[in-house]
Amino acid sequence: MHFNAAHKLYNPAWSEEKNFEVFGKCANHNWHGHNFDIYVTVKGSPDEHTGFVMDLKRLKLILDEKVISKLDHNNLNIDVDFLNDVIPSIENIIIAIWDQLKDTLPEGVELHAIKLYETENQYAEYFG
């Protein structure tokens, strides 16, 4: 799935100089945006009646409700309750998304991996 969002990388405990030294233009005050792509992989055994590990329509609904609707067209530093306490790097975003999703899947289905692309060359992959 896909979402667009703004953020900046900025540690309020540091001086402005140190923030720009570490994060470069990612620390710019007035934010910048990304077109994020998120890949969620679940694991389990195919159901004997459907052949599905999980109905993908249901996975899409869960992702929409728990993740996409909260992140899309928002500011990740300000607008997202489950990112309040972290610097919104792709690493921290993906861990927070995992925590949002881990208890929402049907019985017998487990979260296996989440991959989050910030740009075509930068992504994080998380296995819990």
| Catalytic (active site) residue 73 | yes
Span of 20-28, 35-43, 55-63, 98-106 interacting with Ni ion by CB under 5 A: 20-28
| Catalytic (active site) residue 7 | no
- In angstroms, what is the minimal distance from the CB of 13 to Ni ion? 20
- In angstroms, what is the minimal distance from the CB of 118 to Ni ion? 6
Sign of CA dihedral 17, 30, 90, 105: positive
Q: What is the edge-to-edge ordering of all strands in the sheet holding 74-75?
A: 74-75, 2-7, 32-43, 110-119, 122-126
Span of 23-31, 56-64, 83-91, 96-104 interacting with Ni ion by CB under 5 A: 23-31
3-class SS at 68?
helix
| Catalytic (active site) residue 118 | yes
Span of 18-26, 39-47, 62-70, 98-106 interacting with Ni ion by CB under 5 A: 18-26
Residue number with the smallest Cβ distance to Ni ion: 26
Terminus-to-terminus CA distance in the chain, angstroms? 19
Q: Residues 2, 73, 91, 125: which is the catalytic one?
A: 73
- Whole-number Å distance between alpha carbons of 2 and 78: 20
Token pair 């309750």 is found at 81
- In angstroms, what is the minimal distance from the CB of 35 to Ni ion? 11
Catalytic residues: 26, 73, 118
